C-alpha cells in the first residue's frame, strides 16, 4: 500500500513537472533544461523558505540578475536600432521600456503571473510583484539557457509580440513636470542642483534632485534639461516604488516670521 502511494505521488509530481516544462516552452520558445531556476523565480520573498543547507530561498537574487540582463539586452537593441541617438535619448528610451508598469503588464500577457507564489493577500494590488517576477524569470532563462536565447526571448517573444516599441519610446515622459506636479499636491519641496561637470565639447551636465532636502536622484546628460530629466526620472521611480521623502521639519520660529 505504501509503495503504491509513493508511486502515485511520484507520478503526480512527474505529471506536474511535465506540464510546467511545457508551459515554460510555450513562453520561452524552447524547452528549459533546469526547472530549479524557474521554480525559484516565482517565489516572492513573502513565501521564502529555508532549504536543506539553511539558505533562504526566494526570487530576489534572480530578480537582480534579470534586471541587469534585461537592461543590457534592451540597451544593445536601442544602440543598434538608433545609431544617431544621443546618450540621453537612449537612456530615456530604455527606462520607458523597462519600467515596472510595462514589466507587470508583460508578466500578465505571457502568463507567468499564474505561477507566482506569494503569501500576500490580493497580491494583484501590489503592482510590482508580477514585474519583479518577470525580471527573476529572465534571470532564470539566462542561467538555464544562456545569453543568446535570453536575448531572443526578450526581444522577439516578450517585446515584439506584446509592445509597440516605437510608440512607447515616443511617448511623453516629462519626469520633471510630473515630479513638480506631484510635489505641489503632496506639499513637498523640490530643488534641482545642476552644473556643468567638464569643459569639453560637447558639454556634460550633472543634476541632483532633492525632495524636502533629501537626495532622491542624480542624472547626467549633454544638456541641463537631459540631466534634470534623468534625475527626476530616478526620483519618480523611487516614489512609484513607495519610497517617499520624510515630511518637512516644522520650525515654529520660521513659520511665525513668515506669517508676519
Decide: 156 and 29 in contact? Cβ < 8 Å.
yes
Per DSSP, the three-state class of 225 is helix
> Which is the catalytic residue, given 14, 17, 60, 135?
135
Decide: 116 and 131 in contact? Cβ < 8 Å.
no
Strands (E), the chain: 49-50, 56-57, 190-196, 205-211, 214-221
Decide: 45 and 62 in contact? Cβ < 8 Å.
no
Q: Is the peptide bond before 202 cis (omega within 30 degrees of 0)?
A: yes
Produce one character per residue of 100-139: b if its CB has 16 or more CB atoms within 10 Å, e if not: bebbbbbbeebebbebbbbeeeebeeeeebbbbbbbbbbb
Residue 67 annotated in active site: yes
Decide: 157 and 106 in contact? Cβ < 8 Å.
no
Q: Nearest-5° angle of CA 57, CA 151, CA 227?
A: 90
Q: 204, 66, 227: which is closest to 147 by C-alpha?
A: 66
Terminal-residue alpha carbon distance, the chain: 89
Give Cα 86 to chain centroid, integer Å.
23
> Which is the catalytic residue, given 67, 208, 226, 228?
67
Residue 172 annotated in active site: no
Which residues are the active-site residues? 67, 135
Amino acid at each position: 500500500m505504501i509503495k503504491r502511494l509513493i508511486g502515485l505521488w511520484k507520478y503526480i509530481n512527474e505529471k506536474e513537472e511535465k506540464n510546467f516544462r511545457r508551459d515554460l516552452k510555450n513562453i520561452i520558445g524552447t524547452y528549459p533544461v533546469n526547472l530549479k531556476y524557474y521554480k525559484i523565480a516565482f517565489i516572492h520573498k513573502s513565501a521564502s523558505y529555508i532549504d536543506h543547507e539553511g539558505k533562504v530561498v526566494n526570487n530576489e537574487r534572480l530578480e537582480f540578475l534579470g534586471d541587469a540582463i534585461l537592461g543590457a539586452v534592451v540597451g544593445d537593441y536601442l544602440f543598434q536600432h538608433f545609431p544617431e541617438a544621443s546618450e540621453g535619448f537612449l537612456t530615456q528610451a530604455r527606462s520607458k521600456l523597462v519600467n515596472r508598469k510595462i514589466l507587470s503588464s508583460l508578466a500578465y500577457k505571457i502568463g507567468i503571473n499564474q505561477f507566482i507564489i506569494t503569501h500576500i493577500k490580493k497580491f494583484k494590488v501590489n503592482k510590482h510583484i508580477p514585474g519583479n517576477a518577470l525580471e527573476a524569470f529572465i534571470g532564470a532563462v539566462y542561467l538555464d539557457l544562456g545569453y543568446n536565447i535570453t536575448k531572443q526571448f526578450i526581444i522577439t517573444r516578450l517585446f515584439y509580440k506584446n509592445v509597440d516599441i516605437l510608440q512607447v519610446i515616443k511617448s511623453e515622459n516629462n519626469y520633471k513636470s510630473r515630479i513638480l506636479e506631484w510635489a505641489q499636491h503632496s506639499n513637498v519641496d523640490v530643488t534641482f542642483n545642476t552644473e556643468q561637470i567638464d569643459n569639453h565639447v560637447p558639454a556634460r551636465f550633472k543634476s541632483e534632485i532633492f525632495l524636502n532636502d533629501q537626495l532622491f536622484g542624480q542624472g547626467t546628460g549633454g544638456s541641463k534639461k537631459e540631466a534634470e530629466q534623468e534625475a527626476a526620472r530616478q526620483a519618480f521611480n523611487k516614489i512609484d516604488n513607495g519610497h517617499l521623502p520624510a515630511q518637512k521639519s516644522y520650525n515654529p520660529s520660521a513659520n511665525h516670521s513668515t506669517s508676519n
